Structure 1
Amino acid sequence: MSEPIWFPSDNYKHGSHIEAMLRNLNLDSYEALYAFSIQQPEAFWEATLQLLGIEWFVPYRQVLDVSQGPQWPQWFVGGQLNLAYNTLHHARTRPHDPALVWEGEDGAVVRLSYGELEAAVAQAAHALKEMGIGKGDRVGLFLPMLPETAISALAVAQIGAIFVPIFSGYAAEAAATRLQDAEARLIITADGFYRRGSRVKLLDNARAAAALSPSVEKLLVVRRFGNEELAPNEVAWDQIVPQQPSRAAYEPMGSMDPFMLIYTSGTTGKPKGTVHYHVGFPIKAAQDMAHLFDLQKHETLFWFTDMGWMMGPWAILGALTIGGTVLLYEGAPDYPDAGRLWAICQRHGVTHLGLSPTLVRALMPLGDEHVLKHNLSRLRMLGSTGEPWNLEPYLWFFKTVGQRRIPIINYSGGTEIGGGILGCTAWRPIKPMGFNTAVPGIHAEVLDSTGQPVRDEVGELVVMAPWPGQTKGFWKAPERYLDTYWNRFENIWVHGDWAILDLEGHWIIQGRSDDTLKIAGKRVGPAEYESAAVEHPAVKEAAAIGIPHPVKGESAVVFVVLRSGQTPHSDLAQAISETIANRLGKALKPDKILFVPDLPKTRNAKVMRRVIRAAYLGQNPGDLSALENPQAVEAIQKSSS
């Protein structure tokens, strides 16, 4: 691995959440805290909840019960609480402090204090009850990033119902698949939203999805554009919510009662509905935000995301539970000009900015001047998640955006985790593209094929013990959940990523286990091929897959998207292939370089390598509903003919 490029300083240690944990637990180092978190998990999680200020309606009698096995842990047994209460309790001590800031692509801005947000959530909770929604009912949130998106999620939780976040970009059929599986009774949606200056009519898709979903009785519609005519089974938000009382009771919920059902795309078959509960996902989100990102009260988090990706609920619930401010943005990051994202950060005093590597790669060619002309002096933490990095965009993010002074908190986990397995802490040096810690409270390991821990070599990333935030299985599919994570090693969660843990305690993820190539007996992560490919100046981005080979067993095919102004030709393909061979060795030279106009990505910017491989080999690519650009699959299919 490379050498560190960022080192801890007193500015990042003094006053931090980690410092408070060390003091309360009488520990003397970050390393001691992490060891304590996995050796004495019950004491660690109790201390964490106390420092987060989690309040209980009925105290728990036991921190952890694993009598049903680590697959089905019960956390804080007997306790009753409500996550909405714990995200909004700051309204009682800091009612005028900022809780939520929203900016529309058209320049509209909404600011809500904690007192105003609690009142808005109470009004929405009363409206939901008036519409017949109660404890345990499922409510689809088919919304872009609007103030009402956060308000709806908290209101659904406040009354004890379960929200189902759905990507605002889904077609009707993809949304309906999730609504049908969840048997949702209500859809909260919007008439539309702005995207690159155009009005996207979301309500058309919501209506079509409702028509395909027999359980859906009504639609609650946020009129973003203000004048949409509604059908008899549709209720306008502005005609029912603002008229409601501004105080509402919080439904006492058992610690393991579900509040969210969020779907992830399956490799084959229908999407997986991960079940999250009141003392799980919100606690894990806030804990990660405290222990890794060190978000403080009076600081502002802006994670460029959608509510349909776990980072949407994560940002809202985590930031508010800590007592910070969450910023939501509706539109494109580079509209109406390439400086929009950085202007948002300056305008709203963003301290914590989270972007995916794919988005950084897209912003980087637009020019440094768009970053440098904005005052980003309040930025204190950069965050990243979604996929492995390449070196050039990582260094651009660190040097140009962070001015070499701000750590990049690389973060990796998943929807089923409720947050991160691996991350970075400002208490340890940070190496490019990797992770300098497993998240406190997560007993992570790298195992070889026999289940033994390994160092400095590629193995399976696993979690050895349960944690709050761990999904409560898949909705109506317990066997699928067990099959997905628990069938490799006994009582060990196998996450599906290849990883390396070096002797200094730094981690790097090589990619998904099913994405990893094995060339002539050597296991190689696709990120290694891709990083080598983008070293060629003509290459904008790349994706590597393995295909069957009669001699090697497997060979590499690299799909390349060229930079603007570059023209595909055989000499260029040869040059890119040589660049990769020079970096990885001649034995790992790719079998083919294929030029494509785009790579298939989800709306949260993950490159779908399993889709690329299936399309190239003429196989069933599985669930494609999460793709932002399904036309990219057709180009790959043509390249194989």
Structure 2
Amino acid sequence: MDGNVDVKRGERVVRPPPSPGEGSRLGDWETAYARYREDPEGFWAAVAGELEWFRPWDRVREWRHPYARWFVNGALNITHNCLDRHASGDHRNKVALIWRGEEEGDEQVLTYRQLHREVMRFANALKNLGVGKGDTVCIYMPLVPEQIVAMLACARIGAVHSIVFGGFGASALHARIRDAKAKIIVTADVGYRRGKRVALKTIVDEAVVNAPSVERIIVLRRTRPELELYSELEVDYEECMAAADAFCPPEVMDAEDPLFILYTSGTTGTPKGIVHTCGGYMVGAYYTSQYVFDMRENDVYWCTADPGWITGHSYIVYGPLAAGATVLITETVPDHPDPGVWWRIIEDFGVTIFYTAPTAIRMFMKFGEEWPKRSSLDSLRLIGSVGEPLNPEAFEWYYRVIGGSACPVLDTWWQTETGMHMITTLAGEPMKPGFAGRPIPGVAADVVDREGNPVQPGVGGLLVITEPWPAMMRAVHNNDERYRQYWTTVNGYYTAGDLAVKDEDGYIMVLGRADDIIIVAGHNLGTAEVESALVSHEAVAEAAVIGIPDALKGQAVKAFVILRLGHAPSEKLKSDLVYHVRMSIGPIAMPSAIEFVESLPKTRSGKIMRRVLKAQEMGIDPGDISTLEE
């Protein structure tokens, strides 16, 4: 294919590699994928062999549908691979972590040796508070180096970490603390967002009421004068560090020991606690960081996510550090103090790999090209997106304006449950705006009908993963039935819950959710969680929420509300309900629109048919409504 032309296929552009010969180290996709298909277990064993194990595995994979074990009886510690093997070698003085705060000049740099020492000291601090292997530690912090230190310290001693995004409110935090039975909470007095303080400690104070598992709250005090600690539960982060020994050997972990629980919104009931284990997750996160991102020795890598989401777990912390990368993190938001702040950061630190969300890209499009043009983005060699489908218009702008029409664009599809990238277009392969790409080598994916039969190119269907992979979740915490549903809904395949379409080349376009998940700015919200928050208001008898298109966020929340007797619709009540949801769940869940209604479309069994509401909202045919009560 001529590298200087674009080829049209329908309305989709096929872009040849912008830099022939500089593609992924996996080689071309066809060859690499064929190598995987010839010997899947040998493929993954070779990847795992690039890491260090305390005891080799007996078998690569044990699959008893729907339960998997990977690297059976292998022993390891993920922090040994993220820290020790770099800190004790030639990379000991290589920069591991660069942090920039919101305030001018507020920066911190940690080499691998320094990060290693910080992690060992905090690991001992946790031990001093009685934390041991298998205990759960809840981390509710802003994006500061101490958050990453806390994560790694838990993994160091075999404690299970449960990170809760700092944008969640007290009710959401409380539910996650109780479900995980967290023994320790690590938090900060405040986070900073758009120049304002976010009082995280105040939210924790409310969230720990009626949370009997909590024994201690460790508080990183960032403000001056320091916040006073009153409760017998509360201890100071720096004082804990000062009292701890500097050396902490890594706990020997079985490959199938749990590493973390991460809660993701479900369509019913409480959020789901997705459980990932030490061995397979490490291999998957390392492999995709090293080879999908094509990590090189002098890269400066920046993922703009937060460790409160799976993207931050896999592609800020565990994957890049296992690959020995220099990782940039920042507390800054993309439009404060102005919409040029992120581009200045790329110029200041010479960022080479940039990984962000389609929501951010669309926001930058709104601000215009003048802001990125004020900074030099010549250091970039690879740009990516994550969280939701990257629409063709955003792809084109991102590729041209940010990538200078020279950087491969990695539009990645994966989930909290998958733990690692599953579908994308490898660097150097032709890119198709709107299509995430093909399954990466190591992943078997397809688009099928409800019976599990592959659909023809151009026909919509369900996106499924047909074979297990190392970084797959092992359980839904305290809910085996929900875990089994992932693997038993369609023909024994892992059902992702997304609708998709495949073209004649095997490229997959993800169309959106097939269930009642709303993706707002890349954040998964369960309809049930938002509806529960609304119904907890004294004026609300019943509520249903749907996702509606939003030019900036991808989707926004619209709520349909039935009021209790004695309450009348008003603009004031709408504002009250929006605020109520904000305080219950967090800003990301706030409805952008509320409509007061007399009734909701339901099945005869009482299930709300949200797709009918969505069809009415979009002005389209709702399809089969034979089960509708009226």
Q: CA deviation at 1:173?
A: 1.0
Structure 1 309/503 Cα, relative in aligned 2: closer, same or farther at 3 Å? Answer: same
Asked if the contact 1:280/1:418 (under 8 Å) is kept, the reply is no
2:74 to 79, 100, 103: 79
Q: How many aligned positions are there?
A: 542
What's 1:371 paired with?
372
Contact kept, 8 Å, 2:169 with 2:586, in 1: the verdict is: no
Match of 2:429 in 1: 428
- Kindly indicate whether the alpha-carbon contact (under 8 Å) linking 1:126 and 1:248 is maintained by their aligned counterparts in 2: yes
Shift of 1:617: 9.5
The 1-side partners of 2:352 and 2:194 are apart by: 26
User: What is the CA-CA distance between 1:616 and the residue it aligns to?
Assistant: 7.5
What secondary structure is seen at the aligned counterpart in 2 of 1:341? helix
User: Is the Cα–Cα contact under 8 Å of residues 137 and 186 in structure 2 kept in the other structure?
Assistant: yes
On the 8 A contact 2:18/2:407 being kept in 1, the answer is: no
Pick the aligned partner of 1:637 from 595, 598, 618: 595
Q: Spell out, residue by residue over 1:560-588, the C-alpha distance to the aligned partner (whole angstroms, 9 max, x if none).
A: 668xxxxxxxxxxxxxxxxxxxxxxxxxx
> How many angstroms does 1:277 deviate by?
0.7
Taking the aligned partners of 1:321 and 1:348, their CA distance within structure 2 comes to: 21
**SS in structure 1 opposite 2:279?**
coil
Q: What is the letter of the counterpart of residue 466 of structure 2?
A: M
| Partner residue in 2 for 1:12 | 22
Is the alpha carbon distance of 1:197 and 1:437 closer, same or farther for their aligned partners in structure 2, counting shifts above 3 Å? same
Task: Give the distance between the partners of 1:359 and 1:278, measured in 2 at CA.
Answer: 32
Q: 1:239 to 1:507 in 2, by over 3 A?
A: same
Counterpart-to-counterpart distance in 1, 2:597 and 2:293: 43
Q: 1:378 to 1:640 in 2, by over 3 A?
A: farther
Equivalent runs, 1:199-348 vs 2, <5 Å: 199-226=197-224, 227-231=226-230, 232-315=232-315, 316-348=317-349
Amino acid paired to 1:141: I
Unmatched 5+ residue regions in structure 2? 1-9, 521-545, 564-577, 600-630
Amino acid corresponding to residue 39 of structure 2 in structure 1: Q
Which of the numbers 127, 130, 149 marks the counterpart of 1:129? 127
SS across alignment from 1:442: coil
Which of 456, 462, 465 is equivalent to 1:463? 465
Could you list the per-position Cα deviations for residues 56-97 of structure 1 after superposition, in whole angstroms to 9, with x for gaps in the alignment?
11111111111x32x211101111000111111211111100
**Structure 1 residue 6 displacement after superposition:** 4.4
SS of alignment partner, residue 283 of structure 1: helix
Counterpart-to-counterpart distance in 2, 1:629 and 1:145: 17
For residues 253 and 414 of structure 1, the distance between their equivalents in structure 2, rounded to whole angstroms, comes to 25
Supply the distance in 1 between the matched residues of 2:40 and 2:430 (Cα, whole angstroms): 25
CA distance in 1, matches of 2:101, 2:210: 30
Compute the displacement of 1:156 (Å). 0.3
Change (3 A) 1:338 1:244: same
AA of the residue aligned to 2:311: M
1:146-169 Cα offsets, whole Å, 9 max, x none, are 000111100000000000010101
Instruction: Call closer, same or farther: CA 1:376–1:275 in 2, change over 3 Å.
Output: same
| Cα deviation 1:181-223 (Å, max 9, x = unaligned) | 0000000000111111111111101121122311111111111
| AA partner of residue 471 (structure 2) | G
Letter in 2 for 1:615: F
Summarize the Cα distance change of 1:100–1:500 in structure 2 as closer, same or farther, 3 Å threshold.
same
Instruction: Give unmatched runs, 5+ long, in structure 1.
Output: 20-28, 517-525, 527-556, 563-598, 600-604
Amino acid aligned to 1:5: R
Is 1:438 matched with 2:439?
Answer: yes
* Distance across 2 between alignment mates of 1:63 and 1:255: 11
What secondary structure is seen at the aligned counterpart in 1 of 2:172?
helix
Separation (CA, whole Å) in 1 of partners of 2:561 and 2:155: 43
Further displaced range: 278-287 or 108-117: 278-287
Deviation for aligned residue 1:245? 2.8
> Structure 1 residues 296-305 or 256-265, which shifts more?
296-305
Q: Where do residues 543-554 of structure 1 align in structure 2 (5 Å cutoff)? A: none
Instruction: Give distance in 1, aligned partners of 2:431 and 2:97.
Output: 31
Q: Does the residue aligned with 2:414 lie in a helix, a strand or coil?
A: strand
CA displacement, residues 578-623 of structure 1 (integer Å, 9 cap, x when unaligned): xxxxxxxxxxxxxxxxxxxxx8xxxxx6636xx54x63899xx9x9
Q: Deviations over 1:10-63 (max 9, x none)?
A: 4523xx5314xxxxxxxxx4312112323421100011122xx31111111111
| Residue range with higher mean Cα deviation, 286-295 or 379-388 | 286-295
Q: Quick one: which of 51, 65, 90 aligns to 1:54? A: 51
Alpha-carbon spacing, 1:436–1:630, altered in 2? closer, same or farther (3 Å): closer
Per the TM alignment, residue 357 of structure 1 is displaced from its structure 2 partner at its CA by 0.9
Q: Is the 8 A contact 1:501 1:507 kept in 2?
A: yes
Distance (whole Å) between structure 2 residues aligned to residue 607 and residue 201 of structure 1: 28
Matches within 5 A, 1:526-605: 559=548
SS in 2 for 1:441: coil
Q: Which residue does the alignment assign to 1:628?
A: 587
The whole-number CA distance in structure 2 between the counterparts of 1:286 and 1:321 is 6
Name 1:482's counterpart in structure 2.
484
SS of the aligned residue for 1:404 comes to coil
The amino acid of 2:476's aligned partner reads F
Whether the 8 Å contact between 1:446 and 1:499 is mirrored in structure 2 is yes
Sequence identity percentage = 35
2:25 maps to amino acid: H
Q: Secondary structure at the match of 1:637?
A: strand
Distance 2:462 2:161 in 1: 33
Structure 1 residues 626 and 413, CA gap change in structure 2 (3 angstroms): farther
Whole-angstrom CA distance in 1 between matches of 2:207 and 2:334? 28
User: Which residue in the other structure is 2:622 paired with?
Assistant: none
1:393 match: 394
Which AA in structure 2 matches 1:311? T
4+ residue stretches of structure 1 with deviation over 6 A?
A: none
After superposition, the Cα gap between the structure-2 partners of 1:436 and 1:119, relative to the gap in structure 1 and judged at 3 Å, is: same
Superposed counterparts of 1:157-168, under 5 Å: 157-168=155-166
Rounded to whole Å, the distance in 2 between the matches of 1:347 and 1:366 is 21
Write the deviation string for residues 233-252 of structure 1: whole angstroms up to 9, x where unpaired: 11111112144333210000
Shift of 1:486: 2.0
Q: Distance in 1 between the 2:243 and 2:338 partners?
A: 39
Change (3 A) 1:247 1:510: same
Tell me by how many angstroms 1:314 deviates. Answer: 1.2
Q: Report the CA distance between 1:310 and its aligned residue.
A: 0.6
What SS does the aligned partner of 1:211 have?
A: coil
Deviation, structure 1 residue 454: 2.0
Contact 2:560 2:597 (8 Å CA) reproduced:
no
**Corresponding position of 1:521:** none
Q: 2: distance between equivalents of 1:168 and 1:220?
A: 15
SS at 1:84's partner residue?
A: helix
SS in 1 for 2:501: strand
Give secondary structure in 2 for the equivalent of 1:342: helix
User: Contact 1:411 / 1:420 at 8 angstroms: preserved in 2?
Assistant: yes
SS at match of 2:560: helix
Structure-1 residue corresponding to 2:536: none
**How far apart in 2 are the matches of 1:99 and 1:637?**
49
Match of 1:544 in 2: none
1:11/1:169 CA distance change after superposition, 3 Å: same
1:436 Cα deviation (Å)?
2.5
TM-score scaled by structure 1? 0.80
- Asked whether the 8 Å contact 2:263–2:273 carries over to 1, the reply is yes
Kindly tell me: are residues 374 and 183 of structure 1, through their superposed partners in 2, closer, same or farther at Cα, counting changes over 3 Å?
same
| One-letter code aligned to 1:60 | W
Normalised to the residue count of structure 2, the TM-score between the two structures is 0.81
The separation in 2 between residues aligned to 1:124 and 1:386, in whole angstroms, is 31
